[in-house]
């Protein structure tokens, strides 16, 4: 088998598998969508290949799938044939339905896609897959990226919400509409007595999580009811200073804003909580340590720095997948 980057991660065995294709896709026998974040979803009729994904991922992106696209919903850890190899999807712990892709033939290749090892209030952490070749994300692949435990962050948020209530502020929580906003909805229900009022996009994804058995608790769609709102959950991209000011005027009280991200900068927010759906540096190394691959290819983010760390600290050969954009890497 060969592993390389060409419009996505490609595993070339007896068939050509393409994982998380870019907008400009390559030809493949099978295409895999690892999860429902928009930068990983590119399904169009120009590529007639069948698309494979987990049931929850299909549910989260169903409205974006062209009517005639050929899609297949796959249960976690259920193997199916792809030419001479067998393929399976394994939980990546990133968001609802997020999947690692495992291909087994003369060797075993695992592509982690986006993942985290931490358990959250909604998601179990990624299953670590022992393999010969590991292609892993490296979004936070530098030593300075360290995330506290989920429980510590949850407790900090509980205290912050209590302070905002004492100060008669309207809390505004900002996070991705898919994944992070559902964790925030669940958190508010579990760690406060407030009812979250949520943006349309968040409301839609919340209802899908509920349908797949991930009960989030109470929430209300924002609809000309700001005077009644106790707390807002909005997509981060919506939370400009102008909007926050307008919300303050509409609600008739000051805003206390917070965003939830692994990146440290506050931007225009009052507070930042280090809550990420990705693995930090320690989790990245821990995955490699337990998986014990013979070869690692790092992908996205700080791929060069992480590859150097893996080679130096774990004595396992590692290199960035991007180094081989024009050259297939033979792994056998």
Please tell me the distance from the alpha carbon of residue 70 to that of residue 126, in angstroms, as a whole number: 28
Give the helix/strand (H/E) hosting 200.
helix 200-211
Is the pLDDT at 331 greater than 60? The verdict is: no
**Residue 266 banded pLDDT, cuts 50, 70, 90:** low
Mean pLDDT of the chain: 92
**Residue 226 banded pLDDT, cuts 50, 70, 90:** confident
Per-residue pLDDT tens digits for 141-165: 999 999 999 999 999 999 999 999 9
Please tell me the distance from the alpha carbon of residue 73 to that of residue 55, in angstroms, as a whole number: 5
pLDDT for the residue 332: 44
**Residue 46 banded pLDDT, cuts 50, 70, 90:** low
CATH numeric code, 2-145+278-330: 3.60.15.10
Topology of the domain covering 150-273: Rossmann fold (3.40.50)
Please tell me the distance from the alpha carbon of residue 87 to that of residue 91, in angstroms, as a whole number: 14
**Which SS3 state, helix, strand or coil, does residue 310 take?**
helix
**Residue 47 banded pLDDT, cuts 50, 70, 90:** low
- For 14, 66, 126, 298, the CA distances from 104, given in Å and listed in that order, are 11, 30, 19, 20
pLDDT for the residue 1: 87
Task: Sketch the domain layout of the chain as residue ranges.
Answer: 2-145+278-330, 150-273
Rg of the Cα atoms in the chain: 21
Closest CA to 237 of 207, 204, 199, 186: 199
Q: What is the DSSP string of 266-291?
A: -TT-SEEE---SS--HHHHHHHHHHH
Q: Are strands 196-198 and 220-221 parallel, antiparallel or unpaired?
A: parallel
The model's pTM: 0.93
What are the residues whose beta carbons fall under 8 Å from the beta carbon of 89, sequence distance 6 or more?
A: 32, 52, 53, 54, 74, 75, 76, 77, 78, 99, 100, 101, 102
Share of the chain above pLDDT 90, in %: 78
User: Which range, of 38-47, 178-187, 198-207, averages the lowest pLDDT?
Assistant: 38-47
pLDDT for the residue 326: 41
């Amino acid at each position: 088998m060969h592993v390389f980057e060409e419009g996505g991660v490609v595993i070339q065995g007896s068939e050509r598998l393409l994982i998380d294709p870019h907008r400009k896709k390559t030809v493949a026998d099978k295409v895999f969508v690892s999860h429902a974040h928009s930068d990983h979803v590119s399904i169009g009729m120009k590529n007639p290949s069948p698309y494979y994904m987990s049931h929850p991922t299909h549910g989260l992106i169903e409205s974006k799938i062209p009517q005639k696209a050929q899609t297949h919903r796959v249960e976690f850890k259920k193997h199916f044939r792809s030419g001479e190899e067998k393929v399976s999807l394994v939980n990546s712990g990133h968001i609802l339905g997020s999947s690692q892709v495992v291909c087994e033939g003369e060797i075993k290749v695992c592509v982690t896609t986006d993942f985290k090892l931490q358990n959250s209030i909604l998601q179990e952490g990624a299953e670590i897959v022992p393999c010969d070749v590991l292609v892993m994300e490296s979004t936070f692949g530098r030593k300075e990226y360290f995330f506290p435990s989920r429980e510590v962050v949850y407790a900090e948020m509980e205290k912050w919400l209590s302070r905002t209530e004492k100060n008669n502020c309207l809390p505004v929580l900002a996070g991705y509409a898919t994944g992070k906003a559902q964790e925030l909805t669940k958190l508010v229900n579990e760690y406060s007595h407030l009812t979250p009022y949520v943006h349309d996009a968040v409301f839609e994804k919340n209802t899908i999580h509920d349908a797949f058995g991930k009960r989030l608790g109470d929430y209300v769609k924002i609809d000309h009811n700001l005077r009644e709102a106790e707390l807002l959950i909005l997509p981060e991209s919506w939370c400009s200073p102008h909007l926050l000011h307008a919300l303050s005027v509409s609600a008739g009280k000051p805003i206390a804003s917070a965003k939830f991200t692994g990146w440290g900068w506050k931007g225009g927010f009052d507070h930042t909580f280090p809550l990420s759906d990705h693995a930090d540096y320690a989790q990245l190394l821990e995955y490699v340590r337990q998986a014990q691959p013979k070869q690692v290819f790092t992908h996205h983010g700080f791929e060069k720095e992480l590859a150097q760390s893996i080679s130096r600290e774990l004595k396992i050969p590692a290199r960035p997948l991007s180094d081989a954009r024009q050259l297939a890497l033979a792994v056998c």
